[in-house]
Structure 1
Amino acid sequence: MNRSTSPQRRTPRLVLVGLAVLGLAGAAYLVRGPLLMAAPMCLDGRWRGCLGTENGVVFTTLATVPLSLVLVWLLARRRGSASAWRTSLAEVGMVHGTVPFLWMTLMPGEGAGLVPGRLSLVPFRDLVTMGPLGIFANLLIFAALGFFAPMRFAALASAPRVLALGAGCSILVETAQYAFQLDRVSSVDDVLVNATGALLAGLASRRWWRARAEEHGVVAAARA
């Protein structure tokens, strides 16, 4: 009986890993030019030039994907439960896919510490100046968090909560940019686009986090 259900259990795991690999491969193809420019500094151990540039951070993020997959495997084997792979992948995925973007958004500009913080509180005014690439990058900042967080935490397993999570995290980032005078503009449009990216990613993983929410609901009902 258990042998017949094991392939069904493995299918969501393989789908998640496949989607992650395909997404990273597509991202690497799109930015292959800048990555080739950053690779020599990162491979030579010139960390200031590597981690101090956006291209270097992207290269490091993609280069450490195998390490993250090994960590997922180790965590899943240690837990040994039926949902261990999904839980481990969600934990590692939201950290690996979010921390590099946070690092890039908090990189100081040339006038950091000298230029006072700047605010842009008029909605949709900065969308024009962002351009397609800027909008796409802002959509990705909390996409991994929106995709994996509701899979890991049942309390976040709803679209409004994922949206609120993305908006709250974005507000914290924009506040930090303003408070620490990083020579960046703290814009309400960044919050809107970041939150939208988290929501869209959350909807993309809805099949898996709804299943987790239903499992928790069944367990809670049984305990009651």
Structure 2
Amino acid sequence: MIEVWERFGPVIVAAVAIIPVAVALAVVLTRHRVARGIPLGEARRRSRAELAIVAGTWPWLWMILTPTDGERAVRLVPLVDLTDVLISAPSVVVVQVVGNLLVFAAWGWCGPIRFRIGPAEVGGVALIASVTVEALQYGLSLGRVSSVDDVLINVLGAVLAASVSVRLNRERRDAVPV
């Protein structure tokens, strides 16, 4: 469990630390939008979603783009790295699988709220972003393995979050009396 905290601790602290800043920015951005004629509810929805996407994604990107003393490699055969991870120690499984599921989960959850898009569009953006991150890891020689499995899990996390978000938000909209 110490390994999990060493890996995720700074991300959790950074994510929690940015909450007050994100809330303040959401208020300012909402007021700006209302002043431009956007209805209050729409202005709040957009502002909150945009800031949640940034605040929920940047700590993970910061972590995975931080240099390490590890191996610099590219692994393009799907499911090989994932299989190796799944037979590892539980802490490795948590760090690798849960961490990769969470990288673009904020985008997955809030993207449909902000842009009224579905899981397929969220997955497309997550795919492009994830491939970019993996290419940066390799191109910047960060001592990290660039793996197609990381891309697959990143996209899966975004799509799962989007699927739940779309369903819950549809149910809320349908439950509101007209």
Is the structural similarity TM-score above 0.5?
A: yes
Q: Cα deviation per residue 1:110-168 (whole Å; 9 max; x = unaligned)?
A: 26xxx6x41111111111333430101100000001111232224xx122111111111
Q: How many residues align?
A: 158
When structure 1 is superposed on structure 2, of 191-200 and 121-130 the one drifting more is: 121-130
In the alignment, does 2:77 pair up with 1:122? yes
Any unmatched runs of 5+ in structure 2? Answer: 87-92, 172-178
Contact 1:57 / 1:100 at 8 angstroms: preserved in 2?
yes
Q: Which amino acid aligns with 2:16?
A: L
Q: Which amino acid aligns with 2:26?
A: V
TM-score normalised by structure 2 residue count? 0.78
Contact 1:142 / 1:194 at 8 angstroms: preserved in 2?
yes
Any unmatched runs of 5+ in structure 1? Answer: 1-29, 38-52, 212-224
The residue aligned with 2:24 is 70
Find the aligned partners of 2:169 and 2:131 in 1 and give their Cα distance.
Answer: 25
When structure 1 is superposed on structure 2, of 55-64 and 195-204 the one drifting more is: 55-64
Q: Which amino acid aligns with 1:67?
A: V
Structure 1 residue 65: Cα displacement: 1.0
1:56 is aligned, of 4, 7, 10, to: 10
Q: Which has the larger radius of gyration?
A: 1
Q: Cα deviation per residue 1:68-97 (whole Å; 9 max; x = unaligned)?
A: 112212222232223111101111000001
Find the aligned partners of 2:157 and 2:107 in 1 and give their Cα distance.
Answer: 10
1:18-167 mapped onto 2 (5 Å cutoff): 34=5, 54-80=8-34, 81=39, 82-110=41-69, 117-131=72-86, 132-133=93-94, 134-154=96-116, 157-167=117-127
Contact 2:108 / 2:119 at 8 angstroms: preserved in 1?
no
Q: Cα deviation per residue 1:48-82 (whole Å; 9 max; x = unaligned)?
A: xxxxx752232122122122112212222232223
Q: Which amino acid aligns with 1:161?
A: E
The residue aligned with 1:46 is none
The residue aligned with 1:195 is 155
Contact 1:170 / 1:195 at 8 angstroms: preserved in 2?
yes
Aligned to 2:77, the other structure's residue is in SS state coil
Find the aligned partners of 1:91 and 1:99 in 2 and give their Cα distance.
Answer: 12
Contact 1:151 / 1:208 at 8 angstroms: preserved in 2?
no
Q: Which runs of 4+ in 1 moved over 4 A?
A: 207-211
Find the aligned partners of 1:196 and 1:94 in 2 and give their Cα distance.
Answer: 16
Percent of residue pairs identical: 39
Query: What is the RMSD computed on CA atoms of the aligned residues?
Result: 2.5
Structure 1 residue 204: Cα displacement: 1.7
Contact 1:106 / 1:182 at 8 angstroms: preserved in 2?
yes
Structure 1 residue 208: Cα displacement: 7.0
The residue aligned with 1:4 is none
The residue aligned with 2:140 is 180
Q: Which has the higher contact order (CA 8 A, sep 6+)?
A: 2
